[in-house]
Amino acid sequence: MADFTITLSSWEEKAMKTICADTDEWITNAAINRARQAKDDIVSKLITHCNENEIAIATGIEAQIDQALSLGVVAEATSETPGASAE
């Protein structure tokens, strides 16, 4: 499990307070939901790849993500990856 810390400027904090009661909770929920979406996409791609190539699918979400990475079905994002942000 990883912990992340972010810093908001005063105007960013004020702006966030207009859309949510708890900024930390909102940011946490946004990250968790985006990770879930990515997981669903990875597992879908992995199942398709494994079925097309008669490869046994790993058991468990973390093992499936690791398998997708090791098979090259997906790759870690870089600053050059469309939609990825290094900031």
What's the pLDDT score for residue 79?
85
Instruction: Provide CB contacts within 8 A for 66, sequence distance 6+.
Output: 58
Question: What is d(CA 87, CA 16) in angstroms, rounded to the nearest whole number?
Answer: 18
Domain boundaries, the chain: 10-71
User: Which residues lie closer than 8 Å to 26 by C-beta, 6 or more apart?
Assistant: 16, 19, 20
User: What's residue 80's pLDDT?
Assistant: 83
The identity of residue 43, as a single letter, is V
Amino acid at residue number 58: A
Asked whether 77 and 84 are in contact (CB, 8 A), the reply is yes
Give the residues of the chain that fall short of pLDDT 70. 83-87
CB of 19 closer than 8 Å to CB of 29: no
Residue 81's pLDDT is what?
77
